[in-house]
Amino acid sequence: MKKPLRVGLVGAGWVAQHHLLGWQRLAGRAEVVAIADPSSTRRGERAAAFNIANTYDNAEAMLAAETLDAIDIAAPRAVHAGLVLLAAQHGVPAICQKPLAPNFREAQQLVDAVGGRIRLMVHENWRFRAWYREIAAWLAAGRIGSPFAARLSFVTSGMLPDADGRYPALERQPFIAGETRMLVSEILIHQIDTLRMLFGPLEVAACSMNRICAEIMGEDTAIIQMRGAGDVAIQIFATFAAHGHAAVAADQLEILGSTGAIRLEGGDLSLVGADPVTRRFDPGATYQGSYDAAIAHFVDRLSDGEPFETAPQDNLRTLFLVEECYRLADRMEAHR
C-alpha cells in the first residue's frame, strides 16, 4: 500500500476546522502532519484538537522543515497568491481556498506565473454540496426539459445587530468587516460558481449593490442578473440586512424548465414534473460534506492524474463574472 500523503495546512482560523475534518475522513490516504499560522493560540488549538504533530508561525518555515506531498491553503484571500507561489517554488501540489487572488487580474497573473509547475486546485466547495450534485444530475438527465429561468436567494440578518448589539456575521467571520469587496467577492462567488456548474457558461447582464450595515466597508446587498446558454435567465438576490430572517442563511433556488421545475429550500429538494421527487438533506452534514468531497476530489485527482473540476482556469471564469458584477455596479474602485 502507498503511504498516506503528508499534508501541511496553512491557516488555523474558523474555516480550518472544516478542512481538518475533511482530511480526517481520508485517514489512511492522507494525514495533516503540520499546520502554519501566525497565531500561536489558534494553531495550538487546532493541533491539539486534531492531533497534528508540528506547528509553525509561517508557511515558509513549514515548507522548509517538512517533507510534504501537498499543502492546503486556508488562509485569508489577501495572501493566497503568495502562498501558491511559495508552494510552486517548493514543487508541492496545493489546494487553495477560493479565490486564488482578490481580483481577476491578480488571479490571472498568478495562474500565468505558476504555469504547470505544480498541480493546483481551487477549493470551491459550494458546488460539491450534495443537493447541488443531485440538481446537476437531474438537469443533465433532462428531468425538467430545457431550463429557461432560475432564481437564487440568499437572505440573512447577519449584518443587523442582535439583542446584545453584536453583528452575527462579523462574530462568525470578523475579517469581512474590512473587505471593500464583501458580499459578491467573498460570499456570492460560491453561488456564481455553482450556477456555472449547473448551467455552463454565463454572462452578467446587470448588477446593483448596496451597503446597509455601517460597520463594514463593502457591500452587503446585491442583485445580479445573468444569462446562460439558450437564453436562460438567472437572478441572484442576496442581502445580509433582512429583518425577520435568520442570521445564517441557506440557499433558496428555483429552476423552471419546459417540462418541470426544481426547487431547493434549505435542505428540502423537490422535482416537479412527469416523475416527481422529494428529498430531504441534513444541512449541517451537507455543509461539512462539501468540504469532505472537495478535499477527496483533490486527493483522487492527485492519485489518477485527471484534471481537477475546479482547476485554476475554471476558477478564473468564475472570478471574471465576479469582476463583471463590480464593473456593472460601478464599483471597480473596490479592489480588495
Per-residue pLDDT of 275-300, as tens digits, reads 999 999 999 999 999 999 999 999 99
pLDDT at residue 266 in the model? 87
**What mean pLDDT value characterizes the chain?**
95
pLDDT(98) > 90: yes
Q: Report domain extents, the chain.
A: 5-123, 128-283+317-328
Tracing cell 446587498 back to the chain, one arrives at 221
CA distance 137 to 124: 19
232: its cell numbers: 436562460
pLDDT at residue 334 in the model? 57
Give the pLDDT band (50/70/90) at residue 258.
very high
Contacts of 66 (CB under 8 A, 6+ apart): 6, 8, 33, 34, 54
Q: How far is CA 298 from CA 89, 119, 214, 294, 304, in A?
A: 20, 10, 39, 6, 10
pLDDT(335) > 90: no
Find, among 124, 132, 127, the residue nearest to 281 by Cα: 132
Whether the Cβ atoms of residue 234 and residue 241 lie closer than 8 Å to each other? no
- The average pLDDT across 189-200 equals 97
Pick the CATH number of 128-283+317-328 from 3.40.50.300, 3.40.1410.10, 3.30.360.10, 3.30.450.40: 3.30.360.10
pLDDT at residue 336 in the model? 45
Pick the CATH number of 5-123 from 1.10.260.40, 3.40.50.720, 3.30.200.20, 3.60.20.10: 3.40.50.720
Whether the Cβ atoms of residue 17 and residue 43 lie closer than 8 Å to each other? no
Whether the Cβ atoms of residue 141 and residue 224 lie closer than 8 Å to each other? no
CA distance 21 to 2: 22
pTM of the entire predicted model: 0.93
pLDDT(86) > 50: yes
Amino acid at 161: P
- The average pLDDT across 26-32 equals 97
Whether the Cβ atoms of residue 65 and residue 33 lie closer than 8 Å to each other? no
Tracing cell 484538537 back to the chain, one arrives at 49
Give the pLDDT band (50/70/90) at residue 326.
very high
Say yes or no: do domains 5-123 and 128-283+317-328 share a fold.
no
Find, among 93, 85, 322, the residue nearest to 189 by Cα: 322
Find, among 55, 226, 45, 51, the residue nearest to 152 by Cα: 226
Give the pLDDT band (50/70/90) at residue 77.
confident
Contacts of 292 (CB under 8 A, 6+ apart): 21, 22, 25
